[in-house]
Every structure is written in C-alpha cells, then in structure tokens.
Amino acid sequence: MILEVRDLTKIFGGLKAIEEISFKVKRGIILSIIGPNGAGKTTLFNCLTGVLPSTKGHVLFEDEDITQRRPYEITEKGIARTFQNIRVFNSMTVLENVMIGQHSRSREGLLTAVLGTKKFQREEDEIRSKALEYLEFTGIQDYAATLAENLPYGDQKRLEIARALATEPELLLLDEPAAGMNPQETMALMELIKKIREWGKTVIIIEHDMKVVMGISDWIIVLDHGVKIAEGTPNEIQNNPYVIEAYLGKEEVDLLS
C-alpha cells in the first residue's frame, strides 16, 4: 500500500465537503476518482496534498502519517499533483518551470550560488538536464525556451505533468488532466499516463471523461456528496447499480456503448 486514507473529513463552515472517506491505494496502479460536480473530488486532493487542512481523519503515505503536514513537506515525501485550472508559472520559460520542480531534490543555497562553486555548477547542470528529460518524456521539449503563458492549452497541461514529475514523486495526483482537450490530445494523454505507470509510479486521477477513466484505470472510486459510494474495477463500477443510479444516470448510455 502506498497510500492509506482513514475517515478523512473536511468541513467548510457547516458544509461537509467530504465525509469519512477511507480507501487504500496499491503501488503502481492507476486509480480514478469520479463523481458528479461538487462531489468533493478536488477537496479530497487538496486535503491529501496539504493545501487544505482536513477536519478529521488521517492520511498515511508509505505508512507514515502526513495528515497535518504542509504542502511542500508532502511534496518532499513523494506526492506531486497538478491543478484543475492550470497553474503554470506564466512568465517563466517552460524549462524554468520544470527546473522549479527539482527544488526539493536539490539543496545548494545562497552562498554557493554567489560564489559559483563547482558543486553549485554541477547541481545546476544536473537540474537542467533532468528538467530536459522530463520535457522530452512529456513531449514538449521543443518549447523549452518558450514562456509558459504562450504555450497552447493542451501543452500547458503537459507542462504541469512534467513539472510534477520533476519533483520525483512516487504518487502523482492529476486533477482533470483531459478537461478541455480534443480527442487526439486525450489519446496522447492516456498514453502518457500509462507510460508513467510503467515507470513504476502510482497515479490517482480525477476525471470526467469516461473513455479515459474506463480506458486506463486499474481501480475506480466513486464519490457523491462527499461520501464514497462505491469502489472497484472499471467493470464492477460499470455494473454497479448504485453508481448507475446515483451518479451515472444520464451518462449510462454513454458508458455502456
């Protein structure tokens, strides 16, 4: 088990955004979290990554309790994420964006930078070459010197993934990676996510596009109104009457075809 969530609850004011959610994630799988809008998927991500403090419950990453840690500490431990609305560093180049991802895997400080020591130079070179590798892996190496804000939408999403990979995570959380992509881009994205799994990383994605979900997931969790209503393999979920009733409803036809 790479991740274990126990009774995780988040209350905003009086509103329960997620309520006593528990699940376990096996190493090396692709897990999809689905559910209608407002089901609490992004809130769950925010609680897992420390962006929001959870009200109750525990998150264990590689058997270590990370519940009340700050986001940067969680990243250091090996969980990386992307955001639902793109949050690239707009006025920096694509390469610089990915180099920032290497932050927690490098340590040279102010003094060595000023002196320009050999060790500093070596580390800088390493950061740069690794960043280029991640750009190549995600297929946006041609844009290395472009400002991130000038990148097309789909490539900004790839940049977010490259940047997250650059933090060298064991577990990668992707928040609606296929949203707003055309079918070709979606296909390529699915390949990319599979490639990440082959690399030995664990991936959790939030996704609305059922083709993506059913096409790549090893396991699916369904949330509705902040509560986990089902989990299982894609096959099980497709045939789960609760899911069809509570969530899929209109999309049923879509799903079965």
Partner 1 sequence: MFLQQIINGLTVGGVYALIALGYTLVYGILELINFAHGEIYMIGAYLGIIFLGIFTAAGLTQYSLFLSLFLTFVMSVIVCSAYGFTVEKLAYKPLRNAPRLNPLISAIGVSIFLQNYVMLTQGATDKVFPHVIPVTTVEFLNVTMTSLQIFIIIASLLLMAGLHLFIMKTKTGKAMRAVAQDKTMASLLGINIDRIISVTFIVGSGLAAVAGLMVAMYYGLVNYSIGYIAGIKAFTAAVLGGIGSIPGAMVGGLVLGLIESLGASYLSSEYKDAYAFIVLILILLVKPTGLLGKSGENRP
Partner 2 sequence: MKKVLFMFWCALLSMPFMGIKGGAYLFVGICVSYGVYVLLAHLFGKIKKPAIPVNTKLLSTAFIAFAFILPFLIKDYYTDVAILVCIYIILALGVNIVVGFSGLLHLGFAAFYGIGAYSNALLTTHFGLGFWSALPLTLLFTSMAGLLLAFPALRLKGDYLAIVTLGFGEIIRLVLNNWDSVTRGPNGISNIPSPFILGFEISNLMYYYYLVLGFVLIAAFIVKRVYHSRTGRAWLSIREDETAAEAMGINTRKYKFMALSFGAFWAGLAGALFASKMHFVSPESFSFMESVFVVCMIILGGLGSIPGVILGSLILVLLPEVLRDFQLYRMLALGVGLVLMMIFRPQGLIRKN
Judged by the rule CB under 8 A, the positions of this chain that interact with partner 2 are: 49, 51, 70-72, 75-76, 80-81, 83, 87-93, 96, 99-101, 103-110, 113-114, 116, 120, 123-124, 127, 147, 163-164, 167
Binding partner of 141, given partner 1, partner 2, none, CB within 5-8 angstroms per partner class:
none
Q: Which does 218 bind (CB under 5 to 8 A by kind): partner 2, partner 1, none?
A: none
Of positions 8, 30, 32, 43, contacts partner 1 by CB under 8 A: 43
Task: Centre a 10 Å sphere on the Cβ of residue 150 and count the other Cβ atoms it contains.
Answer: 12
From partner 2, partner 1, none, interface partner of 13 (C-beta below 5 to 8 A by class): partner 1
Q: Is 32 in the site for partner 1 (CB under 8 A)?
A: no
Q: Which residue has the tokens 């804000």?
A: 149
Q: Which residues on neighbouring strands pair with residue 65, listed in sequence order?
A: 60
Indicate whether 13 belongs to the interface with partner 1 (CB under 8 A).
Answer: yes
Distance CA 219, CA 128 (A): 35
Answer for which of 9, 16, 51, 144 binds partner 1 (CB under 8 A) is: 51
Min. distance of Cβ 182 from partner 2 in angstroms?
25
Instruction: Print the binding letters for residues 86-105 with partner 1: x by CB under 8 A, - otherwise.
Output: --------------------
Query: What are the C-alpha distances in Å from 141 to residues 11, 59, 133, 194?
Result: 42, 35, 8, 19
Check binding of 54 to partner 1 (CB under 8 A): no
> What is the C-alpha separation between 107 and 101, in angstroms, rounded?
13
Could you give the CA distance from residue 253 to residue 251 in angstroms, rounded to a whole number? 5
Long-range contacts, stretch 236-245, CB < 8 angstroms, 24+ apart = 238/214
Q: In degrees to the nearest 10, what's the CA dihedral of 70, 59, 76, 33? A: -110
Q: Catalog residues that contact partner 1 under the rule CB under 8 A.
A: 12-13, 43, 46, 51-52
